[in-house]
Amino acid sequence: MGPRRVRWLGLGAVTAAVAAVVLFWFQPQKLLIDETVDDELPATEAAPASPTAAEPAELAELASGTFVSLDHSTSGRVRVLRLADGTRIVRLEGLRTDNGPDLYLYLSRAPVDGAESSFDDDIVNLGRLKGNQGDQNYELASDVDLEPYTSVVIWCDRFNSAFGAAALVPA
């Protein structure tokens, strides 16, 4: 095998390794793939949904807001709801945002118009974003005091990037 061929094989191996790292770390393919979630609005035994009602009986809205775009185009609504059994959920309705490699949903003390770097400073992590489109429910732990949290943020942990945020307005 000549030196020229060895050089080309080495270059090919380096190129393949770089491509593998880019695909693993940046996951650019996610920008082309939408993940739609269609969680139903929960009903509880204490408050069954009537066939004609859009929402279960005794559902209380504690706060709500509308998503605004930050680093990525984002739209939809967020609602914090208390079910008849006392369970609280954060519900995303009509969410549309870009997909990303490491997206989470946070309650944040940072205001929507604040510094992006502060969105992940003092948070309640509600978990990985289930999908980048649709309606989604995230249970809120019973010991979380909602009052100090002013926003809901879709956060890319890998790149420290706020895709979008919604100011929480108490009901």
Q: Helix (H, G, I), strand (E, B), or coil: what is residue 140?
A: strand
> For residues 68 and 162, what is the distance between their CA atoms, to the nearest angstrom?
11
46 pLDDT band, cuts 50/70/90, is very low
- Amino acid occupying residue 82: R
Which residues fall within 8 angstroms of residue 104, CB to CB, at 6 or more apart? 125, 126, 127, 128, 129, 154, 155, 156, 157
The reported pLDDT for the residue numbered 57 is 61
Higher pLDDT, 57 or 141: 141
List the single range of 27-31, 119-123, 134-138 with lowest mean pLDDT.
27-31
Asked if residue 160 has pLDDT above 80, the reply is yes
Nearest Cα neighbor of 42 from 96, 82, 94 is 82
Token couple for 136: 């989604």
d(CA 130, CA 35): 8
